[in-house]
Chain A
Amino acid sequence: MSTGAFVLRRLGVSTLQLLALALAVFFLIRALPADPVARLVGQNPTPEAYASAKRSIGLDEPVTTQLGRYLGVASGSSGILQGDLGRSWVSGAPVGKEIRDALPITIELVTIAFALAFLLSVPIGMMCAVKPGGAADRSAFAYSLFAGSQPEFWWGLLFVYVFFSVLNVVPPPLGRLDPMLTPPPSVTGFITIDSILAGRWDALADGLQHLALPVLTKVFVLSGPIIKMVRQNMVRVLQSDFVLYARAAGLPPTRIARYALRSALAPAIALFGALYGYILGGAVVIETIFSLGGIGQYAVRSILSFDYPAIQATILVITAISLFVYLLLDIVHAVVDPRVTH
């Protein structure tokens, strides 16, 4: 199978997965034992006011009609097939716009944290593998245990205490920018990129400072499992026949290490995909601690207020991103290990 056919097949499967998920979420949230109208209409609604609120959000219609509107197949409706995610029942704003505001914050955090964690963990993992049981290996093992021994929120709060309250070397956990600073005009939604585009170096520096602790927390917690994974794979690969042969053939150690890394990275790439989706979905903890109004907080707010359009759209978008990352990694995997496409 060519790489193009492989990608097309994966795209088709992803689309079906998304559709199945959209349907599952649609029905599951309606099965929950709560009444979103009660929250919308406020206290002591008359039966007429209650009915009026219910009508205004379309919950008085049969579920099949609601589904038709949600998908955008009912006559005169606009739904996900047209790219319309609906309006939030809580804020009255288009959900698509709200997600566009929140998502870049999370993606920026997760992507930078991921890139840094990977850049740090891969060489450390390799160093550990070169001499198992050595000082580097023992230190990395102790660190992995230490970092993984406490939940992420605990490390986040501890870092806030140490680096802000005690040492005062980072800004307070007040979001992406100093609240008194005027943000750069939003073009992409990513503060880092928008600051550069606008030439706002003060905003760029401030944004990076505000990102430092959340990224540090993420990297601190993430690096442990990545180091372990790379180390284990490298140890296994370094003991394999082809490495033995390479050594016997007198190849230089750097070239052997490169070959070994390529083999060791394939499973790590799979881990990367799984971790990225997991962290994107669970970003709410870090977002809450550092007051970052990202997609995680938006999702929790939507769920707690039973804002069906927002819940449906958030799950759909997070899943779509995860599927996209999986697809991207599958392609990388196929390049690294051509056996995948056969």
Chain B
Amino acid sequence: MRGWVGRVVGGGLALGAVAGTPAVAQQQSVLFLAEDVPTSLNYDGPAASIGTTQTGFINLMEPMVYYPYAGTGEDGVRLLDFTRYEGRLVERWEYDAASLTWTMHLRRGVRSCAGNEFTAEDVLYTFARAKSVSGKAPVAWFLANVGGVKGFTRDVFKDPEAKKLGDEVTKVDDYTVRITQSAPNAFLLMAMTIYGMAPFDSKEMKAHAKPDDPWSHDYVNTENVPAFGPYCLERWVKDDEFVVKANPNYYRGKPAVERVVMKKIPQSANRLVTLRSGRAQLTQRLTAKEFASLRNTSGVKVVGVYGNETLFLAPNWKVPPFDNVKLRQAMAYAVNYGQAADIGYAGAAKRWESHIPSSFPGYARPDQQYAYDPEKAKALLAEAGYPGGKGLEAFADQFKLAYTAERESYLGPIAAVIQTSLKAVGFPVVLDPIPQTQIGDRRLVKKDLPLSISDTDKASAISGAYQLMVFYISNGAGAIINTSNYANPEVDGLFAKIKAETDQTKQTEMLKAVQDILQRDLAIIPILETKTQYATSAKLSGVTWHADNSIRFFDLSLVP
């Protein structure tokens, strides 16, 4: 049909005679349709928290330590074993508990896209750049701080001398580095798996430094990130496309897919029709209904995993009446979980029965559960001092259920289900969609939103202990997101013990105790665990779930 009609309609503006299929090199290439393309390639840059930006630098960089593969899940996604570490750029390591020192043996013969060999200088440069906190978002500093690396304290923001790398990371020889911690801390290796600690090619980075930008942020924000990953940058047009080609020097072998074109297609409906037409091989972030519609399409497959994506309700502990535990419990009994899963996720969701996702090491299902039970909710609401919701009218502003306006098509129907469920019991909930920037500011910085729902907050390391640190320890104890302002000294105390504990069995026992407390108090109201889904061409395989939910192109292979 693309013959004469195509020329008339498609190329009809002019040049009908030359219109036709352009000469394209499709062999060994994958077209990945994404909501956006990387805004920057700087993990210490301002856009580092955006998933599509992470996909960019993650595929160009290589972690020091990572997790081994652990087979394929029931819904077709390859999984990782998050209980074990495997060496990547750091081939092996030793820990000396007496001196709190890690000796890292670097892999030899690894070369960057520029052809430079990976050495201890690159590790030192990466830690020094992290400690300089010269980027707009000090992600690398934060991870080193989480890992307890000596000297990576908040002092770096006050004292210029504290920004300089000292003896906490030292070079033993070209292929050996020593890292010293300030206290026993089991999080260092975990932190090193996260993208924000991947080493740079220091020679290339230094070559692009400027007097007013000694750590080459401008270059990494706008041109390229020199590193040791499986792919090298071929072309990058912000707001349009991001094209990478296989790194021939990659130490784990040349990637199976030679070239990946990541193309910005904001409309999920367009991503769907293009994938269905066979002209693209991979996409993410469709609506649940769109994924469901693709499951029966020939030539396309949908794979998914219950990973770290969840939906929860966050009543603010500092805002009455949400400081009342019985009222929170009444809310938990009032939510119609099944309806939220069906309407919001087309069934690709399940009840979240704890405060830690079920796929995480350390997950334990607490005995205390809150099934959908409106009558029990009404009884608890009466016990809380508000029979039938009487008296709650004084808290009208607090019952504005906030969610991100830009995610209306995803969250709007779910918010409506929650509103209906809660209103049926007597909670005077009204919907309050607000812009991303405002909601981010109020949830994550000011932490003054009385009531909100979120489906995007997730831990970037798959560990119950890390989830605890991100969401549930008190803000004073260093929580990362804790939007509900939950604060319980017992939880903080247990977390301190878990952080220092290297024995996994003991860690798991303590995590079980913490989950029981959280479930009793309802630090948040967990609603659903939602499936992370990907739609691919039937010819594409190898999609693997990683904690940041970014696709690793190295995992993929394409049947011709």
Taking the complex as formed, is B110 at the interface, i.e. its CB lies under 8 A from any CB of chain A?
no
* Chain B, 95-137, CB within 8 A of any chain A CB: 133, 136-137
Instruction: Name the residue on A nearest B42 (C-beta).
Output: A92
Q: Which residues of A contact B2 (CB under 8 A)?
A: 168-169
CB distance from A215 to the nearest CB of B (A): 7
Contact, CB under 8 Å: B444 / A43: yes
Contact, CB under 8 Å: B157 / A52: yes
Taking the complex as formed, is B505 at the interface, i.e. its CB lies under 8 A from any CB of chain A?
no
Max count, chain B CB within 10 A of own CB: residue among A91, A157, A181:
A91
Known: A91-B39, A92-B217. A301 touches B239 (CB 8 A): yes
Chain B interface size, as a band, is 35 or more
Contact, CB under 8 Å: A46 / B274: no
Contact, CB under 8 Å: A91 / B222: yes
CB distance from A107 to the nearest CB of B (A): 16
Contact, CB under 8 Å: A297 / B13: no
A51→B133 CA distance, assembly (Å): 12
Question: A171-B10, A291-B266 provided; 17 other pairs, C-beta below 8 A?
Answer: A33-B438, A34-B435, A50-B445, A91-B238, A169-B5, A175-B240, A175-B263, A175-B264, A180-B24, A181-B22, A201-B15, A204-B15, A208-B15, A212-B12, A291-B265, A304-B406, A305-B437
Known: A93-B238, A170-B9, A175-B263. A209 touches B217 (CB 8 A): no
CB distance from A81 to the nearest CB of B (A): 22
A42→B47 CA distance, assembly (Å): 8
Instruction: Name the residue on A nearest B240 (C-beta).
Output: A293
Instruction: Name the residue on A nearest B436 (C-beta).
Output: A304
Taking the complex as formed, is A202 at the interface, i.e. its CB lies under 8 A from any CB of chain B?
yes
Interface residues of B (CB under 8 A from A): 1-2, 5-6, 8-15, 18-20, 22-26, 29, 31, 33, 39-40, 42, 45-49, 133, 136-139, 142, 154, 156-158, 217-218, 221-222, 235, 237-241, 261, 263-267, 269-270, 273-274, 276-277, 279-280, 406, 435-438, 440-441, 444-445, 478-481
Please give me the 4 A-B residue pairs with the lowest Cβ-Cβ distance, nearest first: A92-B221, A48-B157, A38-B441, A42-B137
Contact, CB under 8 Å: A180 / B133: no
A304→B47 CA distance, assembly (Å): 13
Q: Which residues of B contact A164 (CB under 8 A)?
A: 273, 277
Q: Which residues of B contact A288 (CB under 8 A)?
A: 266-267
Among B18, B48, B138, B222, contact of A201 (Cβ-Cβ < 8 Å): B18
Contact, CB under 8 Å: A89 / B46: yes
Contact, CB under 8 Å: A45 / B10: no
Known: A49-B138, A91-B40. A39 touches B441 (CB 8 A): yes
Contact, CB under 8 Å: A40 / B264: no
Taking the complex as formed, is A60 at the interface, i.e. its CB lies under 8 A from any CB of chain B?
no
A101→B264 CA distance, assembly (Å): 15
Q: Which residues of B contact A84 (CB under 8 A)?
A: none
A212→B16 CA distance, assembly (Å): 12
A209→B14 CA distance, assembly (Å): 9
Contact, CB under 8 Å: A209 / B11: yes
Q: Which residues of A contact B279 (CB under 8 A)?
A: 172, 174
Interface residues of A (CB under 8 A from B): 33-36, 38-46, 48-53, 56-57, 89-93, 98, 101-102, 112, 116, 157, 160-161, 163-165, 167-175, 178-182, 201-206, 208-209, 211-212, 215, 288-289, 291, 293, 297-298, 301, 304-306
Max count, chain B CB within 10 A of own CB: residue among A39, A51, A161:
A39
A288→B271 CA distance, assembly (Å): 12
Contact, CB under 8 Å: B435 / A48: no
Contact, CB under 8 Å: B265 / A165: no
Contact, CB under 8 Å: B9 / A172: no
CB distance from B175 to the nearest CB of A (A): 33
Known: A38-B445, A98-B238, A168-B1. A306 touches B18 (CB 8 A): no
Known: A41-B137, A50-B445, A179-B263. A209 touches B10 (CB 8 A): yes
Supply 28 A–B pairs (Cβ within 8 Å), ascending by A: A39-B437, A40-B46, A42-B137, A43-B49, A43-B480, A44-B480, A46-B157, A91-B222, A92-B136, A93-B222, A101-B239, A164-B273, A167-B1, A168-B2, A171-B10, A179-B261, A179-B263, A201-B18, A202-B22, A204-B18, A205-B15, A206-B22, A208-B15, A209-B11, A212-B9, A212-B11, A291-B263, A301-B239
Q: Which residues of A contact B20 (CB under 8 A)?
A: 205
Contact, CB under 8 Å: A49 / B437: no
Contact, CB under 8 Å: A165 / B270: no
Contact, CB under 8 Å: B11 / A90: no
CB distance from B504 to the nearest CB of A (A): 26
A179→B282 CA distance, assembly (Å): 13
Known: A45-B445, A160-B270. A209 touches B133 (CB 8 A): no
Q: Which residues of A contact B139 (CB under 8 A)?
A: 42
